[in-house]
Structure 1
Amino acid sequence: MSLSLINKRPLIWAHRGGRSLAPENTLAAVRKAKEAGADGWELDVQVTKDGEIILLHDLNLLRSTNASVHPVFAVNPPALPWRFALEEIKQLSANVFPRRFCPPKYKRQPWRDLPENLPDDLRIPTLVEALKLSRELDMWINVEIKDLSKAVPGSLGGKIVEKVLGIIREQSMDDQVVVSSFNHDYVRRSKEIAPHILTGVLTEHNFDGDPLEAARKAGADAWHPGFRFLTEEKVKAVREAGVAVNPYTVNEVEDMQRLTKWGVTGLVTDYPQNI
């Protein structure tokens, strides 16, 4: 596989696994995204106290899990992933929808009184589990490494790029992975360690710099911009230079159609079922 168009259409990336379909960054989400026709999925990784790599978007556990009411975490704030071991984090339920995606059956926050036998696909996964499922489903996986350079003390955050790449190699997923980050030093380091693994530089919606320069400095294969202020001219210039363009988070059909006409190579969306 490559980061090129498939059948003259962009690759469809399910954002955080497809968080309109199931709770974000869970294995349940990616299974549903595959059923909906996604080519791949985007996830976020961080590190635990014992050095394990887990899927989590926020720098704390409060929004996307039941940490605020779980006895282990409620009595030991703050609920930061790097303060707890994987065994403790695996006790949490990740069966939590963001309010705007929440189906009617979730309105009563059922995770507050879930039984102990909560399915594994509704707990916080490890990167190993995510890669294994991606291989099983034959899906691309975009591993966004959260910027831990200021948030996590000591060597825990400092070696996250090496840890992520080591896991990717161990799982023989080198050719189905894109490593991306808003921390472009992480992207550059990834390319230095594993030149054959594809990488992408993430930029904010209001990014006003030169995307080709940002990609060049990091040695990146792709540009992952916020789509709101993206222009056709920028997309074409980057594509003509041989760099892929995978904008996020594109949820409206009209935006998807416009960006497809402009020639983007991928679309990151919460709604893979709408494409």
Structure 2
Amino acid sequence: MSLSLINERPLIWAHRGGRSLAAENTLAAVRKAKETGADGWELDVQVTKDGEVILLHDLNLLRSTNASVHPLFIGNPPALPWRFSLTEIKELSADVFPRRFCPPKYIEQPWRELPENLPSDLRIPTLIEALKVSRDLDMWINVEIKDLSKAVPNSLAGDIVEKVLGVIRAQSMDDQVVVSSFNHDYVRRSKEVAPHILTGVLTEHKYAGDPLEAARIANADAWHPGFRYLTEDKVKAAREAGLAINPYTVNEVEDMKRLTKWGVTGLVTDYPQNA
């Protein structure tokens, strides 16, 4: 892939695969995002009991899967992904929409009643599966490593950065990936282990620190800020510092236009079809 993070126009990143199009962090979502013309997608990763890297945003399985009604998970609370093997997690349906994205058919036929032969594209994917689909679709992939430092035993999560980078390298996807995290130590470690793989520091909307200094310390290539407190001056400063800047989660067309005018290099959105 020959794309650069800095282009004549902002790259369009489908947030969690484009969760207005299909269930978040599923392969079904990213396939639909590609159809809209998205350049890449953002996803979240963490680990299972047997050390597999999977796509999941929350630190439990309740909101975005049918774990709350699945016998295995009801009988073994709480529904924390690191307490289950990949084989067990693959039994779940991930075909769950947040209410504001929920299509009418899901109101008529709740996700808990979906058939057991649900396609693999609507189950929780592994990072390996996500990388392979991204390669087939010729899309960028922004791998956000969830901050597991206080939520998961160190025996499982202590080497999460190395696990993620190992999967990326094994798939020969080094030049198609950005590794990002709110845990800036993860970002710094990623750059130490694999200097050639692009990285980005994530910051909350009201981040109290200096994001450019955080990016410098982590040796990051990009800054991924919450867009609501972004200003034109901050965008200019980031660009002058040589950083790509990919704000999230930009869902309104007017916000997309304003940020594009300011000079952002990418837009992370739930609605790639509107970008």
The TM-score with structure 2 as length reference comes to 0.98
CA displacement 1:113-137 (0-9 Å, x = unmatched) = 2222110000000000000000000
Q: CA deviation at 1:107?
A: 1.1
- Is 1:157 the counterpart of 2:154 in the alignment? no
Could you tell me which residue of structure 2 aligns to residue 82 of structure 1?
82
Stretches of structure 1 lacking an aligned partner (at least 5 in a row):
none
* Aligned pairs (5 A) from 1:23-102: 23-102=23-102
**What is the CA–CA distance in structure 1 between the aligned matches of 2:153 and 2:10, rounded to whole Å?**
39
- Which letter maps to 1:34? K
- Which letter maps to 2:137? L
* Aligned pairs (5 A) from 1:13-24: 13-24=13-24
Aligned residues: CA RMSD: 0.8
Q: Give the 3-state SS of the residue equivalent to 2:147 in structure 1.
A: coil
Could you tell me which residue of structure 1 aligns to residue 187 of structure 2?
187
**What is the CA–CA distance in structure 2 between the aligned matches of 1:109 and 1:181, rounded to whole Å?**
36
Could you tell me which residue of structure 2 aligns to residue 124 of structure 1?
124
CA displacement 1:74-116 (0-9 Å, x = unmatched) = 1110000000000000000000000010011111453212222
**What is the CA–CA distance in structure 2 between the aligned matches of 1:163 and 1:40, rounded to whole Å?**
22
* Aligned pairs (5 A) from 1:139-154: 139-154=139-154
**What is the CA–CA distance in structure 1 between the aligned matches of 2:143 and 2:154, rounded to whole Å?**
22
Could you tell me which residue of structure 1 aligns to residue 220 of structure 2?
220
**What is the CA–CA distance in structure 1 between the aligned matches of 2:114 and 2:252, rounded to whole Å?**
34
Could you tell me which residue of structure 2 aligns to residue 4 of structure 1?
6
Contact kept, 8 Å, 1:96 with 1:109, in 2: the verdict is no
**What is the CA–CA distance in structure 2 between the aligned matches of 1:204 and 1:256, rounded to whole Å?**
19
Q: CA deviation at 1:241?
A: 1.3
Moved over 6 A (4+): none
The TM-score with structure 1 as length reference comes to 0.98
**What is the CA–CA distance in structure 1 between the aligned matches of 2:101 and 2:111, rounded to whole Å?**
16
- Which letter maps to 1:249? T
CA displacement 1:35-79 (0-9 Å, x = unmatched) = 011000000001000000000000000000000000100111000
